[in-house]
Amino acid sequence: MHAPHFIGIGGAGMSGLAKILALRGAEVSGSDARESATTAALRAAGAEVAIGHAAGQVPETASCVVVSSAIREDNPELVAARERGLPVIHRADALAALMHGRRALAVAGTHGKTTTTSMLAVSLAALGLDPSYAIGGDLDEPGSNAHHGSGEIFVAEADESDRSFHKYAPEVAIVLNVELDHHANYASIEEIHESFETFVGRIEPGGTLVVSADHSGARELTSRVSDRPDLRIVTVGESADASLRILSVVPRGMSSEVTVEPAGTDGAPLTFTVSVPGRHYAHNAVSALAAGIALGVPAEELATALGSYRGVRRRLQLKGEAGGVQVIDSYAHHPTEIAADLEAIRQSAGGGRVLVVFQPHLFSRTQQLGTEMGQALALADAALVLDIYPAREDPIPGVTSEVIIDAARGHGLETVPVHTMAEVPEAVAALAKAGDLVLTMGAGDVTGLGPEILARLAGVEAGV
């Protein structure tokens, strides 16, 4: 891949691979639908980035074309590449090639992958190990989702949505949880279990699986792979039979104090700080701790280093405060994630209310889980619900945000439908009061509303 061309180079997964290849000296080019901070960061790393998709944008010097599952077969650049006989490489194959020769650590699960991968990247870097990493979200600024390190460890987020995580062969793998999602690609929970089984089967002989001891789907996975003789299984969680047991998670404002105890040892329990709120993030940190230990990193050193993690963009990221109202951005889009983030924020809200601006993501997900989304939103005090963000999908007749709104109202939540982004800042300003917390929530472009909401709140405060 000395001259790869990325179609959709600005995507969360694609941009990281493009950056690493550029830093390794490849002649990277690509295209994306729109300008963004990510495309600007890629240009700064040395990539040539075009906006829009056209056959002529595939350079004559391109050695291959890299695509994700989101790229349609009729994309003009993909059509041109096939006509020219260029190799077409899936994003997962490209990542697998980048990990080759490194000690690979892959993080999988229906929820929490980006956070856990980020925790490992930050803490291993803090210990001077300079890992390479590829994450599905930015740590602190656009383009910080990937790094070409000098160390032997490569930490990668492993995406189950399209089964592409079957491409990897890690030394250590984390499975945080197993739930039914990605309904366009999986017809049943049994298919999900089989897919995760295949992923675990790819772990190197003598390698380690770190898996939740608390999550029912993860426990089912453990039972299915426990007879493999060349696999070490480390379970983590609050269950009494966990290999690395969580004894307590104590909220400390926007952080938590976590105490763990390795099973079958006489050593003292280990206590460390997780600098993001919420029990689910504490569990992510303990999974990261277990995986690092499996790679030979001393437990106490890694636990201390985990405290240097300050969060990842879009994962309960504070966008600012105006008029006494804090605005926080959340990537949560599955009912489990929505509930977890709302419970975490509730612990930090004090006497203020929790208000949500929610943008459903995908018609297929809303069709299957819309009622559960509404139930999860009912953990807030009020919600504005936008129209569905389609991403790569075409509309499904009869599937709208109304299914979520009806379910939320059925659970007693004050819920207001909002059909355009432009309406949101004024609607929030009319609803929010000093002391409240506002969450912009969803996997689409709702994240861009934070600054606009803050500006309107500041205007209210100034009497404008």
| Res 314: pLDDT | 62
At the topology level of CATH, where does 315-461 sit?
Answer: Protein-Tyrosine Phosphatase; Chain A (3.90.190)
| Res 429: pLDDT | 94
d(CA 390, CA 238): 37
- Please pick, among 113, 117, 160, 447, the residue that the annotation labels catalytic: 113
d(CA 154, CA 293): 15
How many C-beta atoms surround the C-beta of residue 268 within 10 A? 7
> Cα dihedral angle (10, 12, 14, 15), rounded to 10 degrees?
60
d(CA 194, CA 201): 10
**Chain position carrying tokens 């924020």:** 345
Find all residues with CB under 8 Å of 392, minimum gap 6, and list them. 70, 72
d(CA 39, CA 308): 28
**Chain position carrying tokens 């983030």:** 341
Q: Is 415 a catalytic residue?
A: no
SS (H, E, C) the chain: CCCEEEECCCCHHHHHHHHHHHHCCCCCEEEECCCCHHHHHHHHCCCEEEECCCHHHCCCCCCEEEECCCCCCCCHHHHHHHHHCCCEEEHHHHHHHHHCCCEEEEEECCCCHHHHHHHHHHHHHHCCCCCEEECCCCCCCCCCCEECCCCCEEEEECCCCCCHHHHCCCCEEEECCCCCCCCCCCCCHHHHHHHHHHHHHCCCCCCEEEEECCCHHHHHHHHHHCCCCCCEEEEEECCCCCCEEEEEEEEECCEEEEEEEECCCCCCCEEEEECCCCHHHHHHHHHHHHHHHHCCCCHHHHHHHHCCCCCCCCEEEEEEEECCEEEEEECCCCHHHHHHHHHHHHHHCCCCCEEEEECCECHHHHHHHHHHHHHHHCCCCEEEECCCECCCCCCCCCCCCHHHHHHHHHCCCEEEECCCHHHHHHHHHHHCCCCCEEEEECCCHHHHHHHHHHHHHHHHHCCC
Phi, psi angle pair for 194, to nearest 5°: -65, -40
| Res 462: pLDDT | 58
Q: Is 113 a catalytic residue?
A: yes
Which positions make up the binding site?
Answer: 109-115
d(CA 264, CA 184): 43
d(CA 55, CA 84): 11
Domain limits of the chain?
A: 4-89, 101-306, 315-461
Which positions make up the binding site for ATP?
Answer: 109-115
Q: pLDDT 10s per residue in the chain (464 long)?
A: 799 999 999 988 899 999 999 999 999 999 998 898 889 989 998 999 999 999 999 999 999 999 998 899 999 999 999 999 999 999 999 999 999 999 999 999 988 898 899 999 999 999 999 999 998 776 655 567 899 999 999 999 998 888 989 999 999 999 999 987 877 778 899 999 999 999 999 999 999 999 999 999 999 999 999 999 999 999 999 999 999 999 999 987 777 899 999 765 556 899 999 988 778 889 999 999 999 999 999 999 999 999 878 766 666 788 899 999 999 998 889 898 899 889 888 877 777 899 999 999 999 999 999 999 999 999 999 999 999 999 878 999 999 999 999 999 999 999 999 999 999 999 999 999 999 999 999 988 998 999 999 999 987 655 55
| Res 67: pLDDT | 95
| Res 280: pLDDT | 85
| Cβ atoms of 256 and 233 closer than 8 Å | no
> Cα dihedral angle (271, 275, 277, 283), rounded to 10 degrees?
-50
Q: Is 372 a catalytic residue?
A: no
By DSSP bridging, strand 64-67 and strand 4-7 are parallel
What the block records as the tokens of 209 is 């699986």
| Res 351: pLDDT | 79
- Please pick, among 19, 38, 39, 114, the residue that the annotation labels catalytic: 114
- Please pick, among 27, 77, 157, 337, the residue that the annotation labels catalytic: 157
What the block records as the tokens of 256 is 């938590």
Surface-to-core class of residue 395, CB atoms within 10 Å of its CB (0-12 exposed, 13-18 middle, 19+ buried)? exposed
By DSSP bridging, strand 382-385 and strand 146-147 are unpaired
At the topology level of CATH, where does 4-89 sit?
Answer: Rossmann fold (3.40.50)
Pick the CATH number of 101-306 from 3.40.390.10, 1.10.3720.10, 3.40.1190.10, 3.30.1360.70: 3.40.1190.10
d(CA 464, CA 457): 10
Find all residues with CB under 8 Å of 283, minimum gap 6, and list them. 112, 176, 212, 214, 236, 237, 246
> For the chain, first and last CA: distance in Å?
55
